[in-house]
Structure 1
Amino acid sequence: MLSEQSTATVRATLPAVGGALGTITERFYAGLFAAHPELLRDLFNRGNQAAGTQRQALAGSVAAFATHLLEHPGQRPDAMLRRIAHKHASLGVAPEQYAVVHEHLFAAIAEVLGDAVTPEVAAAWDEVYWLMANALIAVEQRLREERGGHTWRTWEVVERVAETEDVATFRLRPADGGPVREFLAGQYVSVRVALADGARQKRQYSLSGVPGPGLRQISVKRVRESGAPAGEVSNHLHAHVRVGDVLELSEPYGDLVLDAASDTPLLLASAGIGVTPMTAMLAHLADSGHRAPVTVVHGDRSPAAHALRADHQAYAGKLPDAAVHFWYEHDAPADAHSGLVDLTGVAVAPGTHAYLCGPLPFMRAVRTQLIAKGVAPADVHYEVFGPDLWLAGQD
């Protein structure tokens, strides 16, 4: 891992570098996009760039990786790397792009820290960067090879369903009529669309169910935030994509997948559009004959805003030992709870593995309650839509 000399230098400079990472990443992206505008147009999420969340995620991942190297010199943070690698592989990030990132990132470090970046400091952080980059390149290459190489495939929309006012489900089949690879419940695909300004933006959407042999299904929430480019892809899909239209999809990726024996109790907790991977997981559990207890938890604004609500209930109803708990802020029916998700009265079986998807405040609150109920922190798994700000020191 990190050499002895570089370890001492990184340990001494981590507070200064870590404290400046926000400014460094801001300068980095400005320089990167000035030199390579095609990356902002066709690779990076323009909404996340405008909001600054991608900068936070990058700073957090670099700091987390460096800290791990210092605190656990004999280990590699594979969980963090695997999560990033899945996202990169689904977007089609190429190995040679890491050299481009290195050039502009280290130019930003030198610009922000000035004379503090001695040759020794630069060499130590260069070692940190390439340890992380080469590990990601290797994992991403393996992921692509497992899927026959990264290619974009054209899919035809065969059905569109209005789940709620703001969520639409698109069912798709390959336009070439070829076979469809199986996916693991909880995974997502990248969708690439051509926008009016010529950009080919990509977004990742969970596979929200099992619609039938040879089909894929995604459920897309329209982001109504004002000001471009927030929600530009979701609004494009809602406004322009109908039955008979085509979309470009990647193969399925993602590491939030069910990995439990048939006798393992499970808890699937979601909020809002975080329901999408959970419905796929429930469908898988029902099809595979899962017999251990399954606790289903979901929070939403109202029953009318609860996308895939019928599927959520139906799949859970097929399980022999399932308990369903829904919370609604408004218009809660008699069989649901009013307000925000609160696990105080929810029984959690010993040895439960929990899977969470939803806004970060929701997942932090649920995780805290689960740990208080005796669930091991290592058995609480999560999925974040967009840049992983949990890694950015927000936990």
Structure 2
Amino acid sequence: MLDTHTINVIKSTVPVLETEGVHITKRFYQTMFEAHPELLNIFNHANQKQGRQQVALANAVYMAALHIDRLEEILPVVKQIAHKHRSLGIRPDQYPIVGKYLLQAIQDVLGEAATPEILDAWAKAYGVIADAFIGIEQEMYQAAEQQPGGWEGFRAFTVQRKERESAVITSFYLVPQDGGELASFEPGQYISVKVHVPGQPYEQIRQYSLSDGPGQPYYRISVKREDGDDVRPAGQVSVYLHEQAQEGDVLYLSAPAGDFQLQRQHGRPVVLISGGVGLTPMMSMLRSLAAEQPQAGITFIHAASNSELHAMRRQVEEIASECPGLSAYYCYSTPTELDRQNAVFHYEGYLQPDWLKEMVPNLNADYYFCGPLPFMQAVNTALDQLEVPVEQRHYEFFGPAASLVASGK
């Protein structure tokens, strides 16, 4: 536990962390990777280049400082990050490395303002926070390994089948190379895939949501090919999987992880809202809900540009045909003329609160949403306008956590 003086010193740094946090985390990653390039085998290079990881870490450090006297209030965030750490294979001996370069970055950016007193307080606080992560992650490692069909680290899986779902999304059906038992998972969870892309100096690890329900003899991931543009670099792993990974090839997977899970205890109707490849965890949830409560109220809403980029429609309609309690609706932002002629969508444009209200007969429901950040911000804004309680909203970011409040609002 931290003493009162240390807590007060940490809290005194909150204003400067709010303004200088991203500068500190940029410096942190720069110096750490220079000294320990082997850590580039773990971190997502695309998120580093886009600055998303630096912003996410800055927000986490800020929240830790803000709640340093009530760390239990950020426990849900700690557990969310711990799931990712376990999935990536983060080890306890890596925490001192992070602590060293984080303190160095604070000193580098703040200069004389980073007094010995402030640095000492942050060293103590980091030790407490690191111990909390290590303890939680140790429990997660044990649970992942000791569950039926579980394993430690990364396990070899064979690509049993590769199936195109849309112009940009392809599914991979993965089975254990050793023929052993397959660990179950909660709908909404993900696995990490570790690959060595030819021509690249480091291994790369990416998380992909499991896109089919539990209980199958395989894991299925459905990957969007990220070709990149003038702003974003191409996704090296997604392009590799689309272009080079073939049936019969071997991929290395961590056991399922993640806290984006169905909250079954409330008994409320469920609304699943997805945009683009955010469809993947929703498909797993939809499969499970349809099997568990086919008569109950389930609303499935998917937003895509048009039918060419709309993945898994046939699968959703097959589920709907056997699930009387399911209503499925599609929102197209840029439908083709053929889409309009065939009336294959229910709403044209971007998802709006009024239309969402029409599609959801009982607003007192649990809402799960996932997709690109602007889409998630739009959904969250719509739920604000519909006065849906925050505790009935459940979501997951693809990549580092970000704000659900759009800039400028």
Q: Give the TM-score taking structure 1 as reference length.
A: 0.93
Shift of 1:262: 7.7
Judge conservation of contact 2:163–2:172 (CA < 8 Å) in 1.
Answer: yes
| 1:166 alignment counterpart | 168
In the alignment, which of 321, 327, 343 is matched to residue 325 of structure 2? 321
Report the Cα distance in structure 1 between the residues aligned to 2:329 and 2:158, rounded to whole angstroms. Answer: 36
Alignment of 1:13-92 (within 5 A): 13-40=13-40, 42-69=41-68, 73=70, 75-92=72-89
The 10-residue stretch of structure 1 (56-65 or 144-153) with the greater mean CA deviation from structure 2: 144-153
What CA distance in whole angstroms lies between the structure 1 residues aligned with 2:130 and 2:266?
A: 37
% identical aligned pairs:
38
Determine the C-alpha separation between the residues in 2 that align with 1:100 and 1:12: 25
Secondary structure of the 2:324 match is coil
Partner of 2:291: 287
Root-mean-square deviation over aligned CA pairs: 2.1
Inter-partner Cα distance in structure 1 for 2:22 and 2:227? 27
**Aligned pairs (5 A) from 1:1-395:** 2-40=2-40, 42-69=41-68, 73=70, 75-148=72-145, 150-196=152-198, 197-210=200-213, 213-226=216-229, 230-261=234-265, 263-329=267-333, 330-331=335-336, 332-333=339-340, 334=343, 335-344=345-354, 345-390=358-403
Shift of 1:63: 0.7
Structure 1 unpaired stretches of 5+: none
Following superposition, the deviation at residue 191 of structure 1 comes to 0.3
Contact 1:296 1:322 in 2 (8 A): yes
What SS does structure 1 have at the residue aligned with 2:92? coil
Report Cα offsets for 1:138-162 as digits up to 9, x if no partner: 1211111111163210011111101
3-state SS of paired residue (2:72): coil
Cα contact 2:184–2:214 (8 A) shared by 1: no
> What is the SS of the residue equivalent to 1:69?
coil
Distance in 1 of aligned mates of 2:321 and 2:2: 51
Q: Deviation at 1:212?
A: 6.4
Cα distance between partner residues in 2 of 1:74 and 1:54: 22
Secondary structure, aligned partner of 1:220: strand
Letter in 2 for 1:315: I
Residue identity opposite 1:65 in structure 2: A
Give 1:374 shift.
3.4
CA distance in 2: counterparts of 1:8 and 1:312, whole angstroms: 54
Q: Distance in 1 between matches of 2:405 and 2:253?
A: 28
Deviations 1:210-235 (A, max 9, x none): 38632110000000104896300000
How far has the Cα of 1:252 moved from its partner? 0.4
Return closer, same or farther for 1:293/1:302 CA change in 2, 3 Å cut-off.
Answer: same
- CA distance 1:320–1:92, change in 2 (3 Å): same
1:391 shift after superposition: 8.5
Whole-angstrom distance in 1 between the partners of 2:16 and 2:10: 10
Decide which moves more: 173-182 or 111-120. 111-120
* C-alpha distance in structure 2 between counterparts of 1:102 and 1:16, whole Å: 19
RCO higher in structure (CA 8 A, sep ≥6)? 1
In 2, the alpha carbon distance for the partners of 1:393 and 1:150 equals 39
TM-superposed CA distance for 1:26, in Å, is: 1.0
* 1:358 CA drift (Å): 0.6
Opposite residue 253 of structure 2, the aligned amino acid is: L
Distance 1:385 1:180 in 2: 25
Q: Secondary structure, in 3 states, of the residue corresponding to 2:329? A: strand
Contact residue 272 and residue 358 of structure 1 kept, 8 A: yes
SS in 2 for 1:75: helix
Mark the runs of 5 or more structure 2 residues left unpaired by the alignment. 146-150
Moved over 3 A (4+): 210-213, 226-230, 391-395
Query: In structure 2, do the counterparts of structure 1 residues 225 and 144 end up closer, same or farther at CA, with 3 Å as the change threshold?
Result: same
Distance 2:160 2:29 in 1: 39
Shift, 1:132, TM fit? 2.4
- Alignment partner, residue 148 of structure 2: none
Alpha-carbon distance between aligned partners in 2 of 1:131 and 1:46, rounded to the nearest angstrom = 28
3-state DSSP of counterpart to 1:96 = helix
Aligned-partner residue type, residue 336 of structure 1: H
TM-score, normalised with respect to structure 2? 0.90
